[in-house]
Structure 1
Amino acid sequence: MDVELGLKIVEQILEQKRLSKVQEILLQQSFVGHSYVEIAKISGYDAGYLKDAGSQLWQILSDALGEKVSKNNLVAVLKRNSCRYVRTESDRQFNSQLNSTAYSIPDFSVRMHDCAPLPTPDYRNRKQEIDISCFYGRSNELSLLEQWILGENNSISRCRVVAILGMGGIGKTALSTKLATQIQDKFERTIWRSLQSEPSLSELLLDIIQSLTQLHESYLPEKLSDRISLLISYLRQQRCLLILDSWETILASNDRLGCCREGFEGYGELIERLGTEIHQSCLILTSRETPQEIVAYSGEKLAVRSLQLTGLQAAEINAIYQTINTFWGTPEVWQQLVDYYGGNPLSLKIVASTIQALFDGNISQFLQCWRAEVFILDGIRDLLDSQFNRLSDLETEVMYWLAIEREPVTVIELQDDLLSILSKQQLVNTLNSLCRRCLIDKNGGKFIQSPLITDYIVEKFTQQIYQEISLEDREVFGDRLSLRSQI
């Protein structure tokens, strides 16, 4: 936006009240995107004083316009309200030009015969943000993600793509939603979409572009790469926080770890281009598995980064339980419960219903029953099945061996066990893929499963033995039985 026109619009909004020198400086420098620290260096004023003066000015403009105005959305707000306040003919001509180019097509040329009519998007399949009124913990993760995305720490560059990774139920969706509510005032738009309904990238881009422009355009480029270019042009014009939840639903299973499924390959290009091309927005994606583009382009000091979530602490799970009903147990008992389920909030909520229904909230009695004969609740088994069924044969084999070992093991120790089955190269690649699927942990160069996953694997292993007996597959049964005796 032209600085002179912007100042005129502000004066009209404030009903011709004269702006102070500090207010003029704040507006002029905010129009060109300077931070308070940069404005302080240019003007000689203290950054803290400028921030306070800015807060007062944004509040005055918010009250006058009836909508929230901040340093980050100032230009966008003034553009939307310019028609109401432009007075002179020259200003009107400039404003007309401004509005006609506000959502211009990017540099590539798009001819009418290269375009396809836009179908009406299906809003019924769109998942809304979840309720986070009972959100506990994750303060360190929220702080780190905020630093990455906003770049307010001078030692950390601003991220354009952030992946939040972890097992099913670990709290990725809740964390991304909580984060969005905390930083949404730093962005002109926040768009949250779920991929659980497996939308094509073409449909998703249509939806996002229409949300950004608030327009229903007649045509969009037919080529996906051109549609991505169009999206990036809008992400340069506006600062947008884009959240895509459940990314794993468009990823291939088995041997093609992190690769997009057939027909969804464009999603990989979307990550790559949003991560490598310059814009002022940020994409947050959540996934149970690490997309290969995140592996290829991420780094501690790069614009693409990933955060793998671990479980919540016992005190945080205790707080969640108290919102459900009354539960009791010693601190040691609480810790045992949380450790076994890896602090996974969803798994522990499923367990909570059983503890309440059968043991009246007594965690100690539940654990006593569980120790007598280990069992896995149906809801938790379904959660683990959804991830285990995506494994390749080699990954499944390694998971069996890790369950047999029970204790942390090195690559060399595993290689001794699997020498006749896997080469060293296969073993290293398989362990790497299991880490990227968030199914095993690595600590001090050793690999281990969580206790819950180990028991789940043993259960599947035992069921497979019974099936082999019924099928009279003596050769396979003999191999498995010798391994089972070591458990």
Structure 2
Amino acid sequence: MSVDEAVAAVEALLAQERLNDLQESIVRQAWEQRSYPEMAAQLGYAPSYVKYVAFQLWRQLSEALGERVTKSNFQAALRRWQARSGQTAWGRRDRAQWAAADVPAFYGRETELAALDRWILTERCRAVALLGLGGTGKTALAAKWLETASAAFDRVAWRSLAGQPSVEMLLADLCAQLGDRRRLPSEGAQQLARLLALLQQQRCLLVLDGAEAILAARSAAAPGCPAGHYASGCERYADLLQQLAESSHQSCLLLASREKPKEIAALEGEALPVRSLLLGGLAPTPAQAVVQDKGRLRGTQTEWTTLVQRCGGNPLALKLAATTVRDVFEGDLSAFLAEGTLIFGDIKALLDQHFERLSRLEQELAYWLAINRAPVALTELQGEILSNLRFARLLEGMESLERRCWIRHVAAEAAPTGEPGCLTLQPLLRDYVTDRLIEQAVHEIACGEAALLHRYALIVPDAPAAIRQQQLNALLAPVSEQLLQALGTPLNVKSQLERVLGQLDARSPLGVGYAAENALNVLHQLNFDLSVREVCELAPPQVCPT
């Protein structure tokens, strides 16, 4: 049994026409005896998330096969099943069957479907990138659009990039799906020339799904890797995408990705044959329909609106939240929302692996965007950051976050300051980054450390009163409450803050930081009546603001 046959067997056993990208990658890499950390490093996911998805897959296979299946024995389990059932070797799946990306229920996205019609069918663009966070429905949108648009093409080739196939393997697969099954030439340029010839001879659509898998994630070796650059071993994809976007042909590439490759960013434009379509959240009505598919939930219209807003309209986040409401809160939406948190379980695991792909600069900017609570101008943001960040570096970081679909632009009239060019995080990501900042700040203080306390403001000193109130509710109050829970009494919190401030180094590269002011705000929140001078006496000279 080959690995392709194993993937097909798993799909048959689970009664799925197609595994999702990550499931397929896990099957393929487990077949090659790779460990979960090795899978995570190659795929750009958090190890805990890969292990969780794999556990769910082995559990389903265990139920289907009637025996316990794990990563270490699933090859043997599939072979036993094949012998028992009398199955012959599975032929390689025909990936041209794009309908394998089954869409049993699809709601909304009329504007996006119309844009694909206009760009690909009417204006005949050569490349279109479908971009969005995980769970926004990029694959589903592509499959839904093809239900009606496929008749406009002579051939359709659909390929997942989740397993990081080599460009040579991909080209062989695409050529075969487009009708040319001859052996590829050995030279790379000739391999690509064969595909381009097929795209010139007939009207084809190439769908490359899960393209973020071939893009580099942050690692110990590359902590500053910006978005859009390629993972080790995938560098040839840069030439492939550029040739598909620039060469003259009558076909189209439809690329679905969580991040925008730099070739797409360089070549796209409103009047150019390369476009990008960013998928945001669903509108309230289709979002509510997605949730109701999980079962009838009870709530007022205001509560439904709150759920959709807190999930950012993300279909996957809505489905996961709906499952919790149904199974844990017996369908009571009000009780679920009263808990005050959405970032847990599967949603947190998904967002963890998004965050861990960010460079250190991107993570710092994400924290500051979450702290500001509202859209903020770049010049204002630069003034808040302590690391003397040059404006060019700030722009670079924001451009990278934008390519990863983390931020959105806000018109001047909608910004609190009325300035043009204001930016903010996507709603679901803002809540996630806020929770992460609170958790890490509490952990550091409890352990006697002060990195986050010194580097980030829980309440920005010069922020408007309305923003300061939001920061108090979203950041200062939760940090204070959790410190009280962790340390037991307000006096214990005060003593720990004294120890933390006493350890600060006045010669820190950050210079005058936010630690003393953060400590003062926490102590005020816990009803200690202290002045800035009294708090500063606990810290070394030069650390407190003057």
Aligned pair in 2 of structure 1 residues 481, 161: CA closer, same or farther (>3 Å)? closer
Of 424, 435, 443 in structure 2, the residue corresponding to residue 448 of structure 1 is 424
2:401 pairs with 1:425 = no
Give, in whole Å, the separation in 2 of the partners of 1:308 and 1:369. 31
1:230 aligns with 2:194: yes
Q: CA deviation at 1:462?
A: 2.8
Deviation sequence 1:71-99 (CA, Å, 0-9, x none): xxxxxxxxxxxxxxxxxxxxxxxxxxxxx
Residues 1:133 and 2:104 aligned together: yes
The equivalent position to 1:164 in structure 2, one of 124, 130, 148, is 130
Q: 1:164 to 1:267 in 2, by over 3 A?
A: same
Percent sequence identity over aligned pairs: 42
Query: Residue 467 of structure 1: CA displacement?
Result: 4.2
- 1:144 pairs with 2:115: yes
Answer yes or no: is the 8 Å Cα contact 2:299–2:334 preserved in 1: yes
Q: Residue type of the partner of 1:479? A: H
Counterpart selection for 1:174 from 114, 130, 140: 140
The aligned residue for residue 344 of structure 2 is 377
Give the drift of 1:123.
4.2
In structure 2, what is the equivalent of residue 244 of structure 1? 208
Q: Are the structure 2 counterparts of residues 122 and 263 from structure 1 closer, same or farther at C-alpha, using a change threshold of 3 Å?
A: farther
Opposite residue 165 of structure 2, the aligned amino acid is P
Offset at residue 366 of structure 1 (A): 1.3
Query: Runs (4+) of structure 1 moved beyond 4 Å?
Result: 121-128
Structure 1, unaligned stretches of length 5 or more? Answer: 1-120, 152-156
Q: Residues 125 and 145 from structure 1, CA distance in 2 versus in 1: closer, same or farther, beyond 3 angstroms? A: closer
1:15-53 deviation line (CA, Å, top 9, x unaligned): xxxxxxxxxxxxxxxxxxxxxxxxxxxxxxxxxxxxxxx
Query: 1:169: Cα distance to partner?
Result: 0.6
Offset at residue 482 of structure 1 (A): 5.2
Report the AA paired with residue 348 of structure 1.
Answer: L
Query: Which one of the candidate residues 263, 271, 278 is aligned to 1:293?
Result: 263
Q: State the SS of the aligned residue for 1:140.
A: helix
The alpha-carbon deviation at position 463 of structure 1 amounts to 2.9
Q: Trace 1:154-233 onto structure 2 (pairs within 5 A).
A: 157-213=123-179, 215=181, 217=182, 219-233=183-197
Aligned pair 1:314/2:314, yes or no?
A: no
1:470–1:222 CA distance, 2 compared to 1 (3 A) = farther
Are the equivalent residues in 2 in contact too, given 1:465–1:480 (CA < 8 A)? no
Q: Which residue of structure 2 aligns with residue 345 of structure 1? A: 315
Quote how far apart the aligned CAs of 1:296 are.
Answer: 0.8
**Higher alpha-carbon Rg:** 1
The change in CA–CA distance for 1:122 and 1:378 in structure 2 (over 3 A counts) is farther
Checking the alignment, whether the CA contact within 8 Å between 1:193 and 1:244 is kept in structure 2 is yes
Tell me which residue corresponds to 2:242. 272
Whether contact under 8 Å (1:166, 1:308) holds in the other structure is yes
Q: How many residue pairs align between the two structures?
A: 356
- 1:358 maps to a residue whose letter is V
Q: Return the match for 1:359 from 326, 329, 346.
A: 329
**Are 1:479 and 2:446 counterparts?**
no
2:432 maps to a residue whose letter is Y
User: Normalising to structure 1: TM-score of the pair?
Assistant: 0.69
Q: Deviations over 1:135-172 (max 9, x none)?
A: 11111110111111112xxxxx3101110001111111
Matched-pair contact (CA < 8 Å) for 2:441–2:453? no
Change (3 A) 1:464 1:419: closer
Q: 1:403 to 1:304 in 2, by over 3 A?
A: same
CA distance in 2, matches of 1:393, 1:171: 28
Amino acid in structure 1 at the alignment position of 2:174: I
AA of the residue aligned to 1:213: G
Question: How far 1:199 sits from its partner (Å)?
Answer: 0.7
Residues in 1 aligned to 2:293 and 2:328: alpha-carbon distance in whole angstroms: 18
**Which one-letter code corresponds to 2:275 in the other structure?**
R
For residue 375 of structure 2, give the secondary structure of its aligned residue in structure 1. coil
Residues 162 and 122 from structure 1, CA distance in 2 versus in 1: closer, same or farther, beyond 3 angstroms? farther
Mind listing any 5+ residue stretches in structure 2 that lack a counterpart? 1-89, 219-224, 412-420, 461-470, 476-546
Supply the AA of the counterpart residue of 1:244. Answer: L
Give SS of 1:220's match.
Answer: coil
Match of 2:365 among 393, 398, 420: 398
TM-fit CA distance, 1:220: 1.6
Mapped to 1, the partners of 2:92 and 2:393 lie a distance apart of 44
Structure 1 SS opposite 2:293: helix
Q: Classify the secondary structure of the residue corresponding to 2:339.
A: helix
